[in-house]
Amino acid sequence: MIDRYVRQYEAFASNGGGRAPEWLKSLRQTAIAGFRDSGFPSARDEEWRFTPVAPIVRTDFSAPQAGGEVGFADLEPFLFGHGEWPRMVFVDGRYRADLSSPTAAAGLRVSTLAEALAADPRGLEAEFGRHVVPDATAFTALNTALAADGVVIRAASGAVVQEPVHLVFVVSREADEAAFHPRILVMVEREARIQLIESYVSLGHRGRYLTNAVCEIVMAEGSWVEHSRIQRESEAGYHIGFTQVSQARDSHYRSFSLAMGGAIARHNLHTRLGAPNTEALLYGLYLGRGDQLIDNHTTIFHDQPNCRSWEVYKGILDDRAHGVFNGKILVKPEAQKTDAKQTNRALLLSDSAKIDTKPQLEIFADDVKCTHGATVGNLDQLSGFYLRSRGIPESVARQVLTYAFAAEVLDEVSAEPVRAALAGLVRDRLGVEA
């Protein structure tokens, strides 16, 4: 199983990947060596005991071949009605210039990883692979070793980019039993402001595949990032993601995550508040049905004083779906005046659905305000009775209450076209009439 990926790396390094600069070759070699030594996680690993990766390990995923047939009409339903926004599209792991739209925004540079390395091979060395280190997980090691291409975004100092940058990773109908390793690096310089939408979609796909994505976001002093991550891939595929945010003084990071695809789907979101007066707001919604497993692991590192974090994740699970939420808040001794709040709420719509929730606070400072809470249950019977007493049928009342539960976090998406489209997407999933 491990040798399969080692052979893919060797073929990649000798055919295309070998044209990388020496520092990147070395990073990839370190990554694949670490993967060879550690292998995949198992149920004995505390961080993975609720995420059974055996189906991923057993599948003989191949390196991606030529991208499938995808046109703009296939893409349009996923663009939130704004085809003119700056856009980078990858189909089956390969960049598609004909479906992408270059940006003309002042102070913003968006390019493929290959283009960025060709233009400035040493310019990425300080950041690429320095925040999501290769040995963070076996999957980040594989991504580092096998990421053939990806996206590099740089917002110059003081740039205020009004339109969101949309990254779209598409799995075509033709792809089957292939593994894709998207890589994203975002560098936001001093007092720059950007919006980023990261979309993972599939086109009527019923076969198995693996999306293994890594995103690094580096925020300088006074910068601002709003990041929406939308995962709506095939419920037959597998999705593993890792996002690492590194925040400098006075920076503001706002995240919204929607996860509703994948037979097994997991996302690690880590943000490090590495200087005083930084703020992180994390919102998430996950929807599971059938036999889906959807896992969210978040970690907020409070390294310095006078920082704030706010986290709200909600899950709606039906049939035999299994949800996992593991939220950590780590407060160092020097991080006095920390203000951190975490909430996870799960709604179980069937007797067979289940959730494993594990809030964790590790606090080594004494002048802090830190709270966490987790609730699991069914729909509120009193609210349902109130709606039925007003003549609303029970089935409609359940739909209304379920959507209202989700709407609290959906409302945190600030871009109106994205918020409206996601609200419609969730209503469709829940069977709620508009």
DSSP 268-318: EEEEEE-SSS-EEEEEEEEEE-TT-EEEEEEEEEE-SSS-EEEEEEEEEE-
Distance (Å, whole) CA 316 – CA 301: 27
pLDDT confidence of residue 385: 46
| pLDDT bracket for residue 407 (50, 70, 90) | very high
| Average per-residue pLDDT for the chain | 90
Span 351-360, pLDDT tens digits: 999 999 998 9
- Which residue pairs, CB below 8 angstroms and at least 24 apart, start in 102-105? 103/163, 103/165, 105/159, 105/161, 105/162, 105/163
Span 268-313, pLDDT tens digits: 999 999 999 999 999 999 999 999 999 999 999 999 999 999 999 9
How many Cα atoms within 13 Å fall on the side-chain side of residue 178? 21
CA 327 to each of CA 288, 369, 398: distance values in angstroms, whole numbers, following the listed order: 19, 17, 29
- Return the H-helix or E-strand segment holding 146: helix 138-146
Cβ atoms of 346 and 317 closer than 8 Å: yes
How do the domains of the chain map onto residue ranges?
Answer: 2-273, 379-434
pLDDT confidence of residue 418: 92
Distance (Å, whole) CA 221 – CA 188: 9
The separation between CA 361 and the C-alpha centre of its own chain, rounded to angstroms, equals 22
Q: Is 388 helix (H, G, I), strand (E, B) or coil?
A: helix
DSSP 243-281: EEEEE-TT-EEEEEEEE---SEEEEEEEEEE-SSS-EEE
The residue among 103 and 126 whose pLDDT is bigger is 126
pTM beyond 0.75: the answer is yes
| pLDDT bracket for residue 252 (50, 70, 90) | very high
Cβ atoms of 249 and 279 closer than 8 Å: no
Across 46-51, average pLDDT = 90
Distance (Å, whole) CA 80 – CA 418: 6
Sign (positive/negative) of CA torsion 30, 262, 409, 426? positive
